[in-house]
Amino acid sequence: MALKSLTIVGATGSVGLSTLDLVRRSPDRFEIKALTANKRVSELAALAKEFRPDFVAIADTNKHKELKELLAGTGIECAAGSEAVIEAAKLSSDILMAAIVGAAGLRPTLEAVRRGATVALANKECLVCAGDLMMQEVKANGAHLLPVDSEHNAIFQVLEADRPDAVHKITLTASGGPFLGRSEESLKSVTPAEAVAHPNWDMGAKISVDSATLMNKGLEVIEAYHLFPVEKDQISVLMHPQSVIHSMVEYIDGSTLAQLGSPDMRIPIASCLAWPERMPVPANTLDLASIGSLTFQEPNYEKFRCLALARDALEAGGAAPATLNAANEVAVDAFLTGRIGFLDISSIVEEALTQIDMKAPHSLANVFEIDSEARHLASALIA
Ligand code: NDP
């Protein structure tokens, strides 16, 4: 495999660090071009010293002085602010790993798409709030969008994308998060610590809460709709607590193809980094005999209201997906900081969806307008 240059936006997060773990083990395959973070300045500086990128950006301008001091004498250029993160994404590199959490990842991801890069997409929120615009830009600029999300990566690996007529449906599997077996009544009092304790995956706080509410699966349904040539009613969700089958494609002849693997994000990340080749990953091999049995069940749309809201938002189209995403980001943050309860997350998202009446975004500026309106509304509901 030829040496590839790689920029990671969101380098200090869970996906960013898993990506760098693979790079660390394969120095002959990858060189780091640029790294970015939001606030974790000392972690970012330590990564920069280890991986020696040309450029490092921190979104929080208050951390600029500290970053400069930490990198003094290294010769690594650094800058701060959201524009600096976008500059990092614009720099020429073979692959951009889009690992920022939330709608904040939209502009950097779009810039990499616009320069025709191969984009390994972890940041699902950018497809949720601007899926049509993003996919138009991918096509227009000859970029490659490779899904990092384990479910979408699984489908990417088994889908014959050039033969959509042969596909009956795709099935996204869902672990169900930490509260799959809990009663709705008991969900009223769950704490942020319980919500982020995912049984199978080690992830950032926001996606962990999204997994607990099943909003994550709802966002993934919208993400799948934009990534793959399927209709909305061809995307189904199946609960599968062991997280071994990462997703499936059922063809019209009754054959179902699935991708299986240990629940380790380095597997789908490596699939994107090495694409179209493959590279070794130091993950546990899948030992089906010791797992013993794989179980499945239908999702409970009443208990996990967020999943139903996301499906409704996809169906409604227009401003609904961007509104859903923004209201959810605000509500999850309020839950994590103890300002609302777990079940309030879905109530706030639902209320925001009923109040916003805007048309489908036709430009990036329009996406941010919807995003900002939904954030104001959700904040007001929380207050
Ligand atoms: P983390 O919270 O662990 O990391 C987020 C990263 O984004 C950090 O580097 C953070 O910087 C940076 N960041 C946060 N806010 C901003 C901002 N406003 N501007 C610039 N950078 C910012 O998230 P995860 O790694 O868990 O998830 C990243 C994305 O990948 C999400 O969209 C998630 O849904 C998706 N994903 C994650 C999976 C996982 O296993 N974790 C699996 C599949 C998808 P700092 O550290 O300085 O705060």
pLDDT digits (tens, 9 = 90+) for 320-349: 999 999 999 999 999 999 999 999 999 999
Q: Distance between CA 103 and CA 205 in Å, rounded?
A: 15
Q: How many domains does the chain have?
A: 2
pLDDT in tens, 56-91: 999 999 999 999 999 999 999 999 999 999 999 999
Residues 287, 160, single domain; the answer is: yes
Q: Which two tokens stand for residue 306?
A: 């967020």
pLDDT in tens, 134-143: 999 999 999 9
The answer to whether position 309 is within a domain reads yes
The answer to whether position 371 is within a domain reads no
DSSP code at position 359? P
Q: How far is it between the farthest Cα atoms of the chain?
A: 63
Task: Output the CA 376–ligand 1 centroid distance in Å.
Answer: 22
Last residue of a domain, one of 268, 291, 316: 316
DSSP code at position 279? -
Distances from the Cα of 318 to the Cα of 186, 188, 270, 313, 369, angstroms:
35, 32, 35, 8, 13
Task: Indicate which residue's Cα is closest to atom 18 of ligand 1.
Answer: 104
Choose one of 64, 207, 213, 223 to mutate for the ligand 1 pocket test, by most ligand atoms within 8 angstroms of C-beta. 207
Last residue of a domain, one of 316, 336, 351: 316
The answer to whether position 339 is within a domain reads no
Residues 6 or more apart whose CB falls under 8 angstroms from that of 140 comprise none
Q: For 53-166, where are the E strands, in sequence order?
A: 55-58, 77-80, 95-98, 118-121, 144-147
Q: Work out the average pLDDT over 9-27.
A: 97
Last residue of a domain, one of 131, 147, 163: 147
Task: Output the CA 252–ligand 1 centroid distance in Å.
Answer: 37
Choose one of 15, 41, 213 to mutate for the ligand 1 pocket test, by most ligand atoms within 8 angstroms of C-beta. 15
Which residues lie with the beta carbon below 6 Å from any ligand 1 atom? 10-16, 37-40, 59, 85, 99-101, 104, 122-125, 149, 201, 203-204, 206-207, 265
Q: One-letter amino acid identity for 350?
A: E
pLDDT in tens, 86-114: 999 999 999 999 999 999 999 999 999 99
Q: Which two tokens stand for residue 283?
A: 């993950």
State how beta strands 245-251 and 167-174 pair: antiparallel
Q: Which two tokens stand for residue 44?
A: 């970012």
Q: Which two tokens stand for residue 138?
A: 């991918």
